[in-house]
Amino acid sequence: MKYSVITFGCRVNQADSLGFEEGLRAGGYVAAEPDQADVVVVNTCSVTSSADQSARQIVRRIARQNPSAQIIVTGCYATRRPDELAALPQVTRVVLNDDKAQLVPLLFHAVTTADRFGAGEGSCGAPIEPGVAGRTAFTLRVQTGCAQPCAYCIIPATRGRPASLTIAAVLREVERVVAAGFKEIALTGVHLGSYGRDLTPAASLVELLRALAGYGPDVLFRISSLEPMDCAPAIVELVATSKAFAPHFHLPLQHASDQVLRAMRRPYSIAQYGALVDTIRARMPGASIGSDVIVGFPGETDDDFAELAAYLDGSPLTHVHVFPYSDRPGTEASALAGKVAGTVVRERARLVRDIAQRLSARFRNGQVGTVHRGLTLEDGTLVVTGNYLKVRIAPGRGRNEWVDLRLTEVTGTIRGQILTPSA
């Protein structure tokens, strides 16, 4: 039997899909392109209406190109609107997020799958080696669920209450994937900063990171998106001082107007956010600091937008993902007055994307001449550095090798030169 897994959305979905692939491969399935697969799993996102639309489009495309395929749909859109997806052609099953642990056993009953997909302990099947399905780093979900009531977000309704793996369970999974050959592990969660608060006794993300710090420098941990209020000084200091952690932060801002932040129910001010990223930049001058922003939130005035643009333009951020506001039925924001006209939203998004491009270019250009340790990807000619730069190098290396390199030029593509041990 041949399978294909198509993933939309966040790193949490990527981690779930990686688990599906492990279970399917352990049960004898073989990876194939969607138009050749017997079973296609579509792991959906529902953070925006365009994400929903993309999922529907891919399901219809698979049905046209591969009329004999069984299509299994799961993820946040499947959880939020299961009937919509069940009505699409060739969808034989819709699996809610809470039932993801059962997806592989439903497809292949001989597969033994412990609860990797939920908040339980243990792992499934034979591990995926680096390079399978194009993955060199392993994405490890240590937490799921969210209780943070942001006004615009549907995810608490689709992912449920927070639930964390124990530190012991995380360490066992790290041992397993390191033994399989992985050298970089991305730690992720729906609300990663809340890690451990649901456990008895309670734990914290700082405790988990300290437990993982002993693996460096042979294994690099990359911390996925953290809410600003959860990025404690101890986390910043640990990343700054330990070779086990990539100097890479993703801290969603969402807006720089305190008025809009309050309407969004974001529990911090722009002053607090600015102080955090300024501290990171002072402590780690070469760190990458990414963010997300929403433009056109209901009630956003010209002055609010001007505050956002002005902050971003002078900020130490290195990359920004821009989301035009999209109503999500069932969220508090969808019922708010003061909706911003679509033409205005699109223009504001364009302006912020222009700022984001300048921030990225400034960061990239400022890295020329710096020295980094990185991991080779693909055919060995692409390297990802700790601060998340993708660098092209000359042929001669394999995938999944640590290399030291100096960045030599940025002309659209960043290029680097491998350093010899004596350099």
Does any domain span residue 411? yes
Distance from the Cα of residue 167 to its chain's centroid: 21
Nearest to 137, CA basis, from 399, 391, 413, 418: 399
Domain boundary among 194, 211, 246: 246
In angstroms, the CA 288 to CA 247 distance is: 7
The reply to whether 413 and 356 lie within a common domain is: no
Q: What share of the chain is helix, strand, coil (3-state, %, to 5)?
A: 40, 20, 40
The reply to whether 316 and 349 lie within a common domain is: yes
In angstroms, the CA 386 to CA 399 distance is: 16
In angstroms, the CA 370 to CA 380 distance is: 20
Domain boundary among 116, 149, 182: 116
Under 8 Å between Cβ of 198 and 163: yes
Does any domain span residue 423? no
E strand segments, 212-339: 220-223, 248-250, 288-295, 319-324
- Quick one: pLDDT at residue 110? 32
- Quick one: pLDDT at residue 372? 96
Classify residue 419 by burial, with Cβ atoms within 10 Å: 0-12, 13-18, 19+. Answer: middle
Does any domain span residue 373? yes
Q: Which pLDDT tens digits describe the chain residue by residue (423 residues)?
A: 899 999 998 989 999 998 899 888 888 889 999 999 999 999 999 988 889 999 999 999 999 999 999 999 999 999 999 999 999 999 999 999 999 988 988 876 533 333 333 333 334 444 578 877 678 999 999 999 999 999 999 988 899 999 999 999 999 999 999 999 999 999 999 999 999 999 999 999 999 999 999 886 789 999 999 999 999 999 999 999 999 999 999 999 999 999 999 999 999 999 999 999 999 999 999 999 999 999 999 999 999 999 999 999 999 999 999 999 988 888 999 999 999 999 999 999 999 999 999 999 999 999 999 999 999 999 999 999 999 999 999 999 999 999 999 999 998 899 999 997 533
Helix (H, G, I), strand (E, B) or coil at 106: helix
- Quick one: pLDDT at residue 292? 98
- Structure token pair of residue 243: 């070779």
Range of the domain at 281: 248-366
Domain boundary among 116, 146, 163: 116
Does any domain span residue 395? yes
Q: Which residues pair with 300 in a beta bridge?
A: none
* N-term to C-term CA, the chain: 50
Q: Residue 217: which residues within 8 A CB-CB, separation 6 or more?
A: 243, 244, 373
The reply to whether 356 and 403 lie within a common domain is: no
Under 8 Å between Cβ of 400 and 375: yes
- Quick one: pLDDT at residue 151? 96
Number of domains composing the chain: 4
The reply to whether 281 and 357 lie within a common domain is: yes
Let me know how many helices (H) and strands (E) the chain has, helices first: 13, 17
Does any domain span residue 121? no
Residue 189: give its domain's CATH number.
3.30.750.210
- Quick one: pLDDT at residue 124? 43
Does any domain span residue 156? yes
The reply to whether 149 and 242 lie within a common domain is: yes
The reply to whether 219 and 265 lie within a common domain is: no
In angstroms, the CA 142 to CA 244 distance is: 17
pTM: 0.89
Residue 302: give its domain's CATH number.
3.30.750.200
pLDDT in tens, 274-316: 999 999 999 999 999 999 999 999 999 999 999 999 999 999 9
| 63 phi, psi to nearest 5 deg | -60, -35
Does any domain span residue 225? yes
E strand segments, 67-218: 70-75, 91-95, 138-144, 163-164, 184-189
Cα distances from 243 to residues 87, 129, 150, 386, in angstroms, run 50, 23, 34, 10
- Quick one: pLDDT at residue 113? 37
Under 8 Å between Cβ of 271 and 308: no
- Quick one: pLDDT at residue 119? 34
Does any domain span residue 328? yes
In angstroms, the CA 221 to CA 139 distance is: 10
Residue 384: give its domain's CATH number.
2.40.50.140
Nearest to 5, CA basis, from 28, 33, 27: 33
- Structure token pair of residue 91: 């969808």
The reply to whether 323 and 375 lie within a common domain is: no
Instruction: Give all strands of the β-sheet with 138-144 in edge-to-edge order.
Output: 163-164, 138-144, 184-189, 220-223
Residues in the chain: 423
- Quick one: pLDDT at residue 128? 75
The reply to whether 382 and 348 lie within a common domain is: no
The reply to whether 28 and 78 lie within a common domain is: yes
The reply to whether 172 and 229 lie within a common domain is: yes
The reply to whether 230 and 274 lie within a common domain is: no
Residue 41: give its domain's CATH number.
3.40.50.12160
The reply to whether 143 and 154 lie within a common domain is: yes
